[in-house]
Each structure stands twice: as structure tokens, then as C-alpha cells.
Amino acid sequence: MQAAPSATALPESQPIEGCDVFVIGGGPAGSTIAALLAQQGRDVVLVDKEHHPRFHIGESLLPANVELFRKLGVYEQVDAIGMKKWGIEFVSIEHEYQSYVEFADAWDKSMPSAWQVRRSELDEVLFRNAATRGARTLEGCKVQDVQFDDNGAIVQAQLDDGSRRTWHARFVVDASGRDTFLANKFKSKNKNPDHNSTALFGHFRNVRRLEGKREGNISICWFPHGWFWFIPLADGTTSVGAVCWPYYLKARGDKPLKDYFFDTLALCPELFDRLKHAELIDDRIHATGNFSYNGTHATGDRYLMLGDAFAFVDPMFSSGVYLAMHSAFDGAELVATALDAPQALARVRADFEGMMRDGPREYSWFIYRSTNPTIRDMFMHPNNFLRVKEALMSLLAGDIFGKTPMWWGLRRFKILYYVIAITHPLRTWRGWKRHRFNVRDMGKLQGETIQT
């Protein structure tokens, strides 16, 4: 069992408030678990260091999210702010055509669509819902320290106005996202050596989109130094970003970031053409480190870590929000066990630890190989030989914790990949060598945000 540090003394003049569960972070993971635990009648405090609505990247949702929104009672609210997403477009500069796949082609036909959303709007919907369900919510409240004792933890935080608050909680949930509050405290965060990327992104008006039913689809476009996302939003805005290897951003030198971003867009002629009449909103491009990582553990006797607070993978398949919210549903069961039936906690913790690794691992296998010419060809030539397309679409829809018989199909997909790779040894070797070159550590960009 993971040991927790002992508590430190507090100034006698500082009052201590009590609660059952203290949740750090008001994103999808934190707001979801706060709502679920509050509905159980527990005293839950949910804090966010910022004020909603606040900007966040990660605008594309998976069909598996839909049922979670229904369970939380926010389906109609999300549907009202979302752009319907029925599938995915793949664009490769090495092919003269686009490839289109739909979620309806997955094993489970009951999950044919999802949404594209502004995360500022989605996160506020979920945060307010937690308050509606009974959680005590507080914005502009940054947690500064957590110290554990035999009965829970002392949480110290500072508000925007400089005042301080202190709570004694029976249980602490870290949903701080890429701030990874507890993982930093425990020094349990490990950078993934197999993936290393940087994201450039901006929002545009007057973009040429796909037509008809496909208008809301996400487009994934490969280019020599990484891949682009193209995400249409309901208000007419389109989010466009380039996830590229660190060496590529390093090569920018003194060139203005906006100019470098448009130079990058020109490397994908199809995407560049869609933006030729577009207007960059706020005349601003962002750049941020996008490194993948995971933790040595996600739980302790009196705490757990959810979503990106435990692990982060490249966002190519839009899995972030779904993995965060799914971990919150399972995490709510773990917290209830810790508070009500601690004798059963060891088994529940083991199951939870396994679940937290399963999702990122399944997506990572495809993400780490996505720039390999073999798997790119398989995406550009989708077929249902041995039902591998149904299995792949189930993965892309987020059906990795469901009961559909997709796993044999995914295994067959991987076998086909290896067979094709073996029969093209020179191409495979070059792809592997290029990947090792791409993931070189070019210096610390993680968490950095550059704006023009």
C-alpha cells in the first residue's frame, strides 16, 4: 500500500473546515466525481484554481461519452452546445484522396455519434452540475499543500484575494489535470520515453468545412513532422492544431510563431486550402509542450488521481475527456469503498489501478505507430477483413470498457500490421529509425505556453 506523508502543524489562528471528500480541479474528471459523490449524500468540496468559463484545449468527444453525460443528467445541455460528430476524416499528403470512417461502423451500433465542443462551455456545464447535485464549489482557489494523517488529509489553499482556507478531508481526489498535483508531490510522475510532441494551435472563422453530415467530423491530417487536428465547432469557429515533434518547433528560431504555424499548414495542401479565406481569431497562435507521461500509482489509502492527473497520452484519438470521466465514475466507487467499507479497499484499488492503465495503453499502441507508413496505409485503406474495421472503430468510439467482442478484432488488426511490416522490412526499419529520431528530448517545453 502506498504510504502517505504525515501532517504538518498549522497556525493556531487558522480555522479548519471539515468535509468528506476534497476534489482538486474542476475539469471533466473532478466535476464528474464531485457530482456522483454529492448525490450519494457526501459532503464534497470541489475547487478550481481558475474561474469558469476558462479556456482549455481538447474539444473533440467520443461516442462513449454520451452515456456518461446521460448518467450525469447533462445530455441536453451538452447537445445544445455541441457540434454533431459522426466520424473521422484521415488526410495524408502521400495519398491523393481522403479516407472517411463512421462510428456507426463499430461493433456497438448504439453509439453512432458524439460532439465537438468548446471546452470552456463543457467544463462549466459539468462544474455547475456538480454544484446542482450538492457539491460545495469554489473557483479561484489554488491548492498549495496537502498533508495526510491517519484520518484523512489537511488541505491548504489560497484564494484570488489572497485569503487562505484550510480543510480536513477524509479523502482527497486529485483531478488537477496536467498540473499533476499529487504526482509531483509524491514524485511518481514518469515521462513516457516513447512519445514526445509539441502542439501549435489556433481558432479560425470562415474555414471551408466538409459538407453535409460530415461537416462536424474531426479531420486528422498527417504531414512530415507530425499531424494536424481540424475540429469544427457549433458557433462557426474551427479549431486547428499541429502536433509536431519537438525538433520541429525548435527549428523555428526567431521566426514569429504565427508565421511558423502558417508555414506548417502549407505542408498539408488540403488543410491549407481550407484555410485560405479564414480569419485567425484574436490573431493569436498558442504553443505548448504535449509530452506523454504516466504515474507509478493512481491510488492510496486516502487519495486517488483521475484522468490527466495520473496519465496523459497524445490527443490524436480524442480520448482525454472520456478517459477522465470514466475514471471519475470508477473513482466514485473507490471513494465510497474507502469511506464505508475500508476492509474491501485493497481489491477495489487493484482493479482501479488496472483500469487506469488499460485505457492509455490501448490508445498508445496506435498513437505511437500512427506516423509509421504501414499503419497510415491501413487507416487510409480501411476494410473490414476479419472484422478489423469494426474493432478499430470501437476503439476510436471509446468502447474500450464495454462488453462488445472487439478485442479479437483488434488483435487481428495488430497481427496484420506486423505481417505487413515484416513483408516491407526496409520501410519498417526506416519508420522505426525516424520515430526514434522524432522523440528525442529537445529541452523542456512541457507546460510552456507561447502566444503571439
* CATH number for region 17-82+118-191+294-362: 3.50.50.60
* Predicted confidence band of residue 269 (pLDDT cuts 50, 70, 90): very high
Range from 6-10, 84-88, 151-155 carrying the lowest mean pLDDT = 6-10
Range from 212-221, 234-243, 403-412 carrying the lowest mean pLDDT = 403-412
The pLDDT of residue 429 is 85
The pLDDT of residue 13 is 60
The pLDDT of residue 441 is 65
Beta-strand ranges (E) seen in 42-151 are 44-48, 83-85, 87-92, 98-102, 114-116, 136-139, 141-149
Range from 235-244, 333-342, 356-365 carrying the lowest mean pLDDT = 356-365
CB distance 300 to 150 below 8 Å: no
The pLDDT of residue 126 is 98
The pLDDT of residue 403 is 83
**146: amino acid identity, one letter:** V
What one-character DSSP code corresponds to residue 67?
H
Please provide residue 349's backbone torsions phi and psi, each rounded to the nearest 5 degrees: -65, -45
In angstroms, the CA 154 to CA 171 distance is 10
- Average pLDDT in the 373-396 region? 87
CATH topology of domain 84-116+197-290+369-452: D-Amino Acid Oxidase; Chain A, domain 2 (3.30.9)
Give per-residue pLDDT as tens, 111-151.
999 999 999 999 999 999 999 999 999 999 999 999 999 99
Q: Which sign, positive or negative, has the C-alpha torsion 91, 262, 241, 250? A: positive
- Average pLDDT in the 264-277 region? 96
440 against 19, higher pLDDT: 19
In angstroms, the CA 292 to CA 191 distance is 6
The pLDDT of residue 21 is 98
In angstroms, the CA 98 to CA 269 distance is 12
Predicted confidence (pLDDT) at residue 318 exceeds the cutoff of 50:
yes
Predicted confidence (pLDDT) at residue 307 exceeds the cutoff of 60:
yes
* Predicted confidence band of residue 89 (pLDDT cuts 50, 70, 90): very high
The pLDDT of residue 289 is 76
**219: amino acid identity, one letter:** S
**203: amino acid identity, one letter:** H
Task: State the average pLDDT for the chain.
Answer: 90
Rg (the chain; Cα; Å): 22
Predicted confidence (pLDDT) at residue 294 exceeds the cutoff of 50:
yes
380 against 72, higher pLDDT: 72
Tell me if the pTM is above 0.85. Answer: yes
* Predicted confidence band of residue 374 (pLDDT cuts 50, 70, 90): confident
CB distance 68 to 32 below 8 Å: yes
**Count, residues in the chain:** 452
Angle at 353 between CA 364 and CA 35, to 5 degrees: 100
Give per-residue pLDDT as tens, 5-63.
444 455 556 799 999 999 999 999 999 999 999 999 999 999 999 999 999 989 999 99
The pLDDT of residue 297 is 96
Give per-residue pLDDT as tens, 392-439.
999 999 999 988 888 999 999 999 989 988 998 888 888 777 777 776
The pLDDT of residue 442 is 61
Give per-residue pLDDT as tens, 275-286.
999 999 989 998
The pLDDT of residue 177 is 95
The pLDDT of residue 84 is 97
The pLDDT of residue 3 is 47
In angstroms, the CA 68 to CA 61 distance is 12
- Average pLDDT in the 374-381 region? 86
Predicted confidence (pLDDT) at residue 440 exceeds the cutoff of 70:
no
The pLDDT of residue 450 is 38
Q: For the chain, give every domain's residue range.
A: 17-82+118-191+294-362, 84-116+197-290+369-452
The pLDDT of residue 452 is 35
The pLDDT of residue 35 is 98
